[in-house]
Chains A and B, each alone.
Chain A
Amino acid sequence: MESRTPLLQHAELESEGESEALLHITRQIRQMPYLDPPETLVSAVLDAIRPRQFPWRYRVLRWARSPRSFTLTPLQVACVASVLILLSFVSALYLPKSGPRQAVQGGPQGGAPITLMLTMPEARSVSVVGTFNAWDENGYEMKRDETKGAWTLVLQLPAGHYEYAFVLDGHTIIPDPQAEFYEDDGFGNQNGVLIVGNHHDKAI
């Protein structure tokens, strides 16, 4: 029980007589008797209440918070452990690894990684077509880097000589402005030339 003294510190400025009078009143209040409630009170309360369904959100929360006991046989434990191990293997094999997201496409036989990049912030979509994908843009969409406005695609190509071009917004074909070499396509346009050597990773 807390001491009564701190409250009456307010009365420090008052006369000693007043403090004494206040203390006397507090004593009197404390001595007021406790009355017994009517005998019918408990039955009246119990008659008035009825078993009820509390709100479903509360029930779900309560269910989730309540500890549960599970009984498993050793065989069941072994089964659960096997499933968990299998799941961890599958996730390790198929889930994408963390790190910066970049589009990666394999050529017909895989090979060294080549990063193609085009700075074209106003484009809505950019794809790459070339001799490595039979000039079919499907599956060779470039990914946009929002900060730089640049489009990138990583290709896995075996060593060789490739012609390629970019397709803007699905209809405009342009050569790579940063290509090291160009070749005429035979129709008055030019394609970029990509020469992939052995074991190198190069941004073009």
Chain B
Amino acid sequence: MDQLEEQQVISAILDGDADAYVMLVNRYQQPIFNLAYRMTGCRADAADLTQDAFLKAYEQLYRFREGKKFFPWLYTIALNHTRNFLRKSKTNRTTAIEDCDLHSDSHYAAQEEDKICGRLDCQRLQGALLALPWEYREAVILRYREELPMEDIASALSISLSGAKMRVYRGLKKLREILELNDDGKQNASSSTC
């Protein structure tokens, strides 16, 4: 579906054909779900957030400007919604993630990832991403996982281009520190066990 077809679908929805929305949901559910999952680390939360993001986008569709790309607009909605969710659950985020990991659904996601990742140790990286403050987390994910151009990241985060670059870079450095800290912790634990 190219941009023109996408615009036709949007026009049909705005003309009252709500069923046409299925085409947009089918097309974009995976990237939105993965964004939410990388941000929350919880499959159940990610599914809820994805659903909410699509519902919000539908409600606000009349504000979407014709001629623009739909995906960055939807992405911004999903990102804002996820951000609000993280803000609200900031105080008990660690507990929530732990609870979530025990949940069978998310456990399934972790197992799936392990299977796909193989020896790349995705869980270690995902854990480090979740330990990153969410302002940096979203910037790093958008840049390196979703591979968005810096301009789109700046737009999605409502910050300047230089601000986006700085946030991505600092996020990356912090991520490295967390990974090193985790590695040191494991080594210390194993050496003390020995």
Contacts and interface: CB of A to CB of B under 8 A. Distances in A.
B122 A33 contact: yes
B58 interface: yes
B145 A29 contact: yes
B116 interface: yes
A197 to B, nearest CB: 69
Interface in B29-54: 29-31, 33-34, 37-38, 43, 46-47, 50-51, 54
| Chain B binding surface, main DSSP class | helix
Interface in B1-52: 14, 16-19, 21-22, 25-26, 29-31, 33-34, 37-38, 43, 46-47, 50-51
A38 B150 CA distance: 30
A36 B31 CA distance: 9
Nearest to B151: A2
A44 B51 contact: yes
A46 interface: yes
Contacts of A38: 43, 47
A58 interface: yes
Given A7-B169, A41-B47, A26 B25 contact: no
A21 B165 CA distance: 18
A6 B166 CA distance: 11
Contacts of B59: 52
Interface extent on B, as a size class? 35 or more
A55 B120 CA distance: 50
Contact of B19 (A7, A29, A34, A46): A46
B79 interface: no
A54 interface: yes
A32 B58 contact: no
A62 B109 contact: no
Contacts of B116: 33
Contacts of A29: 125, 129, 140-141, 144-145
Contacts of B47: 37-38, 41
A28 B121 CA distance: 9
Interface in B144-186: 144-145, 147, 149-150, 165-166, 168-169, 172-173, 175-176, 179
Given A2-B149, A28-B120, A38-B47, A33 B29 contact: no
Nearest to A65: B66
A30 B55 contact: no
A2 B149 CA distance: 6
B98 interface: no
A92 interface: no
16 contacts: A7-B143, A11-B169, A25-B125, A28-B120, A30-B147, A34-B34, A35-B43, A35-B113, A37-B33, A41-B47, A46-B19, A46-B25, A48-B55, A49-B18, A49-B21, A51-B18
Given A33-B122, A38-B47, A49-B21, 13 more contacts: A2-B150, A29-B144, A33-B112, A33-B113, A33-B116, A34-B30, A35-B109, A35-B112, A36-B30, A41-B51, A46-B22, A48-B55, A49-B58
